[in-house]
Amino acid sequence: MHPRARRPIAKARILAAVLVATAAVAATADAARAAVTVSATVTPATPGTAGAPNPVAVGLRATLTGRSNATPRPIRGLQISLPDGFATTLASIPSCLEPRFAARGAAGCPPQTRLGVGSASFVYVAGGLRLNASTDELMLFHGERRRTTIGHESTLHLYARVTKPIHYVFSIAGRIDDRQPPLGPLVSFDLGDVANPPEGGTVSVTRAAFDVDRGFAAGPCGAGGRWAFGLRLQYVSGAADTPVAHAACGPDATAPVLRASARSGRAALGARLAVRLSEPARIVVALQRRAGTRWRTARRVRFDVPEGFGVLRIRRARGRPLPPGRYRARLQAFDAAGHRSTKRIVTFRLR
């Protein structure tokens, strides 16, 4: 059974004024086959074993272009074959039930059901109209998990929201199939209603990036000390591309890179620390408050943070809300291999 793309949650409204105003930049979609560039990362890059796979975060990046940088062909189907020895860890992750997702979109899914986030850019072509757009939100949620004759399969909910140049919200149904070892899981998405939306025209993806922080575990290294991710892009025309993305595999010898900043604000909102990590890691924060000429530790707290940008919030210390005053936070990140980042110190004031 192939996953089916759901009808858009909120139907796109393209006003006649927008069509007229943008007609000057019209272009016809190029029927040329897309050139695809893909890359993959696995964090940590430490391999597991067939009997004890190592939980990892997976990142995928893809860029699609037509001949002479023209619009690439619309894609109606996507499959991602994870490396041999990989396995899913979805049995321990709660499910976002279909009725809740269909009714409320991302807001209907509990936070613990989210598997990852991403972004995408695309071109909408209708007649003489061409609009470039990108997602404001792109989130992947775990749906229901069920047993099959060869193992298990899980449904996926992919939610996307676009606000410029048009407002459009849509969802795509996907699926993860467990396959007989040593084959890794197979991820499938049906993009038919995205490539050819009910409102008419075509949509061509030009760039996509996705980071899945939960749900996968890595087995042994592949040939050449690399993991191979096989992709299959099925175009509306019937043609297909099958690029392969490789990710480094081996002992983690790199310490995480941590950057941090803080802004002063209201004490009622607590401390808000903006951080950026080069890989998933645990951040240890020592929050200190100025008392005369000395700094006194108000609280120590740990946060498990994925790769990328995040905001850490601390609202209470010793069971009470943080009082107004001058503060500093000492931060350090530790990755799964035990490597530690350089310490960072940020100062701010709560009023």
Q: Are the CB atoms for 307 and 211 separated by under 8 Å?
A: yes
| Amino acid 23: pLDDT | 28
177 and 297 share one domain: no
* 35 and 102 part of one domain: yes
Note the residue count of the chain: 351
User: Is the same domain home to 46 and 105?
Assistant: yes
Residue 270, phi then psi, degrees to nearest 5? 75, -175
Give pLDDT, residue 68: 58
Reduce the DSSP state of residue 318 to 3 states and report it. Answer: coil
State the total domains in the chain. Answer: 2
Last residue of a domain, one of 187, 217, 248: 248
Confirm whether 162 is domain-assigned: yes
In a domain, 4, yes or no: no
Is 336 part of a structural domain of the chain? Answer: yes
169 and 195 belong to one structural domain: yes
Q: What pLDDT score was predicted for residue 69? A: 59
Q: Are residues 92 and 233 in the same domain?
A: yes
Tell whether 2 is covered by a domain.
no
- Same domain? For 101 and 172 the reply is yes
Q: Are 206 and 224 in a shared domain?
A: yes
Do 275 and 239 belong together in one domain?
no
pLDDT on residue 43:
87
Same domain, 320 and 219: no
pTM of the model: 0.65
Q: Do residue 262 and residue 291 come from a single domain?
A: yes
Same domain, 227 and 276: no
- Residue 98's identity, in one-letter code, is E
Evaluate whether residue 253 is within a structural domain: no
Say what the pLDDT of residue 33 is: 47
Question: Same domain for 107 and 86?
Answer: yes
Domain C-terminal end among 248, 268, 294: 248
Q: Which residues of 84-113 are buried (b: 16+ CB within 10 A; e: fewer)?
A: bbbbbebeebebbbeebbeeebbebbeeeb
Q: Is residue 179 part of a domain?
A: yes
Q: What is the CATH number of the domain that holds 341?
A: 2.60.40.2550
Q: Which of 248, 276, 294 is the last residue of a domain?
A: 248
pLDDT in tens, the chain (351 residues): 444 444 443 333 333 223 222 322 333 333 344 588 899 999 888 898 888 899 999 999 999 886 655 788 899 999 999 999 999 999 999 999 999 999 999 999 999 999 999 999 999 888 888 889 999 999 999 999 998 776 789 999 999 999 887 788 889 999 999 998 899 999 999 998 888 887 788 889 999 999 999 999 999 998 888 999 999 999 999 999 999 999 988 877 678 899 999 999 999 999 999 999 988 889 999 999 999 999 999 999 999 988 888 899 999 998 899 999 999 999 999 987 788 999 999 999 999
Q: Which of 60, 74, 90 is nearest to 175 (CA)?
A: 90
The parent domain of residue 38 ranges over 16-248
In angstroms, the CA 166 to CA 203 distance is 13
**Residue 182: is the preceding peptide bond cis (ω within 30°)?**
yes
In a domain, 170, yes or no: yes
In a domain, 1, yes or no: no
